[in-house]
Amino acid sequence: MEQHNNQPNKPPQDNDKKPKGSIWLPLIISLAIVLVISGIYNMVSRSQYTETTYTEFRQAMDSGNLSEVEMRYDRIIYMTKEEDQKPASQRKAFYTGLPNGDALALAEELYQLGFKVYQPIVEDNSLITMILYNALMFGVIFLFMRMLTKRMTGDGMMGGFGKSKAKVYMEKQTGVTFKDVAGQDEAKESLQEIIDFLHNPQKYTEIGAKLPKGALLVGSPGTGKTLLAKAVAGEADVPFFSISGSDFVEMFVGMGASRVRDLFQQAAKVAPCIVFIDEIDAVGRSRDSRYGGNTEQEQTLNQLLGEIDGFDSSKGIVCLAATNRPEILDKALLRPGRFDRRIIVDKPNLQGRLDTLKVHTRKIKLSEDVDLQKIAQATAGAVGADLANLVNEAALRAVRQGRKTVNQEDLMVSFEVVIAGTEKKNTVLTDTEKRMVAYHEVGHALVAALEKRADPVTKITIVPHTSGALGYTMYTPEEEKFLSTKDELLVDLRTVLGGRAAEQVVFGAKTTGAANDIQRATSLAKHMVTLYGMSDELGLMAPAAVQHQYLEGQAYLDCSQETAATVDREVQKILDTCYEDAKRVLTENRALLDEIAEFLLVKETITGEELMAYVNAAKSDAAPCATDEDFDEE
């Protein structure tokens, strides 16, 4: 039986084998560049002048025929008076070499004649200067080429193309354990078995059980898939290789497959270990031959499948992967023997959100009035990342207001900022607009308050926010529901359409403020008809299918044109019925609608308790009083 060392292994050292002879490449390239530059310089400089002999120069000098003379360290450049009188485009300059032995005397003679003379240098010194200049240029180019070739052979070019970009995370580096992950008890339980196998493999091998080679973490963005993988690294106390699926995709064919090979070779050296591939859909997308095969992505996927099949799970190599698009993954990747397990990392329930809030508020100083249970109830549908952001925003708000603790108001205001954005203090509405907004929001709230199955209203405001809302009504469910009946969905529709109904009842007008309400109502009615089988005409038929469940989760029709027309008629009928019901409720309670709207116009923001005080008072006033005749009959 093979025993495993439970102590953390050291990550593989990349510099154990240094490439030999790598210095020759930059050396040769630098020398070639220097020679080419020197040759080009000489060619260009000489092409500007016509070469003559020193005798010809001396004759022009003695006869006074020189117009311009420049004596440089290696040559004499001059122009005769005949050339100087020609047009500029036709002039020619001449050059000749320095005389042997008497360069200084010539320089003094030219200086007395009034010509420019750069520091005269004898032939030996000019040679030394040229050598020093070329040596300096060679050194600079060599250092640059040396750094460039080191990078090319190490990290991502030339020989480094096939190197894996995986990072090795040890327990001290991640600093994350299962105590830092809340609301995902089922996922942690599945991963705990993998960790136990890495710690005690003999317990499983004695009975003949094999460790799953791979586990796929599936869930919506922000649910904590990567956090769970890091927690596994912290709990398992073994090397943890982390790489993104997009890191395998390269411009050059074959580089992705090479990186896959390198990654698993590194993992085999330090087993037991965990390999985590984030966003595996970037490389594991289903292969399609419609547009031709043998692409870089297909080669990388084939190599990944081969590596997963090739390693021995008894050695303790576990491959974890994360995605939010499991429907597009290749079926060969998901078959037993590869990614055997699919671990759903779903949105947390009420208890999960409460536990997550407790985790994120460990290091936050909270005041005594904080009730995380209410925050958890109000944040239905939020994921771990949303809750972490909410707590951080609340802490920032407390600092802005000069307090040292976070109170309940900070948390609720931060939640509202996530929903509707911050308040727009500079937006000034006219009296008519403000009145319309008030009746619109009270229409939502009053319909919800008068319905038995509606969620309780928590807050009503007519203060404009940066999300574009001129006001909003917030609801907080008393308990978390996982199923909804048709009657409950119809109540939701009447509540959503209550704003437009109030506009029609009070002002006899339709405003653009109901645009978002109509979109939400239409979407819900379509789901009732196309997915939930709640249509009288279509019955149990589901002409739509949900795509990308863990992303936007939109439903797309997959039916004939006749059926699509029937869907439209059914949706329209449901919306019209709910709209008429909402108008009837508000018409019957017009006095109560006016009273609450006037109160909201004064305060701009009212709570659900204040709303229910008006509703309960109206109900008690409407109850029939007992008369003497009633008692006589009894």
Residues 504 and 367 in one domain: no
Segment 7-16 mean pLDDT? 42
Backbone φ, ψ for residue 200 (5° rounding):
-130, 70
pLDDT band for 578, please (50, 70, 90 cuts). very high
pLDDT greater than 90 at residue 448: yes
> Among residues 344, 360, 385, which one ends one of the domains?
344
Catalytic residue among 279, 416, 441, 503: 441
The per-residue pLDDT for 335 is 84
* Angstrom distance (rounded) from CA 496 to CA 580: 13
pLDDT band for 313, please (50, 70, 90 cuts). low
Q: Mean pLDDT check: name the lowest of 88-102, 190-204, 604-618.
A: 88-102
Is residue 423 included in any domain, yes or no? no
Q: Which residue has the higher pLDDT, 443 or 8?
A: 443
Q: Which residue has the higher pLDDT, 224 or 43?
A: 224
**Is 570 annotated in the active site?**
no
Pairing outcome for strands 273-278 and 317-323: parallel
pLDDT greater than 70 at residue 163: no
Residues 357 and 464 in one domain: no
Backbone φ, ψ for residue 508 (5° rounding):
65, 30
The CATH number given to whatever domain includes residue 367 is: 1.10.8.60
pLDDT band for 505, please (50, 70, 90 cuts). very high
Q: Which residue has the higher pLDDT, 497 or 631?
A: 497
Residues 69 and 211 in one domain: no
Residues 519 and 572 in one domain: yes
Q: Mean pLDDT check: name the lowest of 166-175, 230-239, 354-363, 550-559.
A: 166-175
Domain count, the chain: 4
The per-residue pLDDT for 524 is 94
The CATH number given to whatever domain includes residue 51 is: 3.30.720.210
* Angstrom distance (rounded) from CA 188 to CA 192: 6
Residues 181 and 207 in one domain: yes
Mean of all residue pLDDT scores within the chain? 79
* Angstrom distance (rounded) from CA 52 to CA 305: 75
Scanning 328-430, the segments in alpha helix (DSSP H) are 331-334, 350-360, 372-378, 384-400, 408-420
| Per-range mean pLDDT, top range of 94-98, 253-257, 272-276, 509-513 | 509-513
* Spatial CB neighbours of 133, under 8 Å, sequence gap ≥ 6: none
Residues 481 and 603 in one domain: yes
The per-residue pLDDT for 122 is 43
Residues 459 and 590 in one domain: yes
Is residue 247 included in any domain, yes or no? yes
| Per-range mean pLDDT, top range of 45-49, 273-277, 335-339, 504-508 | 504-508
Q: Which residue has the higher pLDDT, 42 or 248?
A: 248
Identify whether the C-beta of residue 347 lies closer than 8 Å to the C-beta of residue 381.
yes
Token pair belonging to 141: 């180019």
Length of the chain: 634
Identify whether the C-beta of residue 454 lies closer than 8 Å to the C-beta of residue 492.
yes
pLDDT greater than 90 at residue 405: yes
> Among residues 308, 327, 344, which one ends one of the domains?
344
Residues 114 and 217 in one domain: no
Q: Which residue has the higher pLDDT, 596 or 43?
A: 596
* Angstrom distance (rounded) from CA 206 to CA 217: 28
pLDDT greater than 90 at residue 584: yes
Q: Which helix (H) or strand (E) holds 559?
A: none
| Per-range mean pLDDT, top range of 238-247, 356-365, 577-586 | 577-586
Is residue 8 included in any domain, yes or no? no
* Angstrom distance (rounded) from CA 311 to CA 305: 11
Residues 414 and 438 in one domain: no
Identify whether the C-beta of residue 499 lies closer than 8 Å to the C-beta of residue 443.
yes
Is residue 632 included in any domain, yes or no? no
Backbone φ, ψ for residue 241 (5° rounding):
-95, 125
Is residue 6 included in any domain, yes or no? no
* Angstrom distance (rounded) from CA 336 to CA 331: 10
Is residue 5 included in any domain, yes or no? no
* Angstrom distance (rounded) from CA 593 to CA 507: 13
* Angstrom distance (rounded) from CA 525 to CA 493: 8
Residues 91 and 130 in one domain: yes
Residues 440 and 385 in one domain: no
pLDDT in tens, 514-557: 999 999 999 999 999 999 999 888 888 888 888 777 776 678 78
> Of the candidates 189, 224, 198, which has an alpha carbon nearest to the alpha carbon of residue 9?
198
* Spatial CB neighbours of 373, under 8 Å, sequence gap ≥ 6: 354
Q: Which residues pair with 217 in a beta bridge?
A: 322, 343
Is residue 634 included in any domain, yes or no? no
Identify whether the C-beta of residue 524 lies closer than 8 Å to the C-beta of residue 487.
no
The per-residue pLDDT for 120 is 47
CA atoms lying within 13 Å on the CB side of residue 525:
24
pLDDT greater than 70 at residue 314: no
Range of the domain at 187: 167-344
Q: Which residue has the higher pLDDT, 63 or 628?
A: 63
Q: State percent of the chain over pLDDT 70.
A: 81
Residues 399 and 314 in one domain: no
pLDDT in tens, 15-66: 444 444 457 777 788 788 878 887 776 666 666 677 788 888 888 888 878 8
pLDDT greater than 50 at residue 631: no
DSSP 219: -
> Of the candidates 228, 243, 245, 240, which has an alpha carbon nearest to the alpha carbon of residue 182?
228
Is residue 333 included in any domain, yes or no? yes
